Amino acid sequence: MSTPHNQAMPGEIAKTVLMPGDPLRAKYIAEHYLEDAVCFNEVRGMLGYTGTYRGVRVSVMGSGMGMPSMGIYSHELYQHYGVEQILRIGSAGGISLRLRLGDVLVSMGASTDSSFARQFCLPGDFAPLADYELLSHTVEKAKELGFSVQVGNTLSSDAFYQDNPNTTALWSKMGVLAVEMETAALYCNAARFGKRAVALFTVSDHLLTGEELPPKVRQEGFDQMIRLALEAAVTFAPQEGDHGENV
């Protein structure tokens, strides 16, 4: 049955879902990469589509901005729709001089300033991590495609506009590579439900240097990230009859 945020019926969403933050980017991916894509959700404008890529059934759906939004949609996909793996694809702001504009980054772990994980009532601080097998497969697929990727710790922040001007430098000092706003919630939910998740980003701007990609170059960089996510997803895709363990 549908949820308050998703009108899809059982079976309309694939076991593998790509999740950009922007629902219009989900529409772009469905129209430019998937075959026979059908829209399964329009509730609150959070567009979702299911089609095939190289003969494998794949869905793509927006997550919205911020951890509360990602928390809702990823929870429902894992728990109510039987999704087995989610690949987040989005933009990130570089906070390490290791990164250049346009680089593709794979998030190994998601540091955060959010209290999202407190709901699990753990007696300490949870470290939200990508699924190792899916992450490793994604990195190996990048090598096969001839794409250069960076792998490391990222920051999922609740604040886009930081009042403390020292925040970026403090996280950078700890080796964090880039900042975005959703991945920690995704990784927490994947861990909670025993599912897989990995996040990929295109570095669209750099908070230390003030540089940012122009629109045309940004689009081309996003296309490389999207292709990598799709190739990794369909070559590591669970069978449609498979079911993860919900606990």
Residues 154-169 have a mean pLDDT of 93
- Given a cut of 90, whether residue 237 has pLDDT beyond it is no
The band of 219, judged by pLDDT with boundaries at 50, 70 and 90, is: low
The answer to which of 148-162, 183-197, 219-233 has the lowest mean pLDDT is 219-233
3-state secondary structure of 145: helix
User: Strand pairing partners for 203?
Assistant: 92
Give pTM, 2 decimals.
0.94
The band of 220, judged by pLDDT with boundaries at 50, 70 and 90, is: low
Rounded CA gap, 220 and 64, in Å? 22
Does the annotation count 113 as an active-site position? Answer: no
pLDDT of residue 25: 93
Please tell me which residue, 2 or 154, carries the higher pLDDT value.
154
The band of 246, judged by pLDDT with boundaries at 50, 70 and 90, is: very low
Q: Are strands 104-112 and 196-206 parallel, antiparallel or unpaired?
A: antiparallel
Residues 129-143 have a mean pLDDT of 98
User: Strand pairing partners for 206?
Assistant: 94
- Given a cut of 80, whether residue 81 has pLDDT beyond it is yes
The band of 155, judged by pLDDT with boundaries at 50, 70 and 90, is: very high
Residues 135-162 have a mean pLDDT of 96
Q: What is the dihedral of CA 153, 16, 117, 191, to 10 degrees?
A: -90
Domain boundaries, the chain: 16-235
* CATH, domain range 16-235: 3.40.50.1580
Rounded CA gap, 178 and 168, in Å? 9
- Given a cut of 90, whether residue 198 has pLDDT beyond it is yes
pLDDT of residue 221: 62
Contacts of residues 123-126 at CB distance under 8 Å and 24 or more positions apart, as own/partner, are 126/188, 126/191
CB 31 within 8 A of CB 37: yes
Give the Cα-Cα-Cα angle 134, 135, 140 (nearest 5 degrees). Answer: 95
Mean predicted lDDT score pLDDT of the chain: 93
pLDDT of residue 214: 84
Calculate what percentage of the chain has a pLDDT beyond 70: 95
pLDDT of residue 213: 87
pLDDT digits (tens, 9 = 90+) for 26-78: 999 999 999 999 999 999 999 999 999 999 999 999 999 999 999 999 999 99
Rounded CA gap, 195 and 106, in Å? 18
pLDDT of residue 2: 85
Catalytic-labelled residue, pool 22, 205, 223, 242: 205
Rounded CA gap, 131 and 109, in Å? 10
Backbone torsions φ then ψ of 164, nearest 5 degrees = -90, 115
The band of 126, judged by pLDDT with boundaries at 50, 70 and 90, is: very high
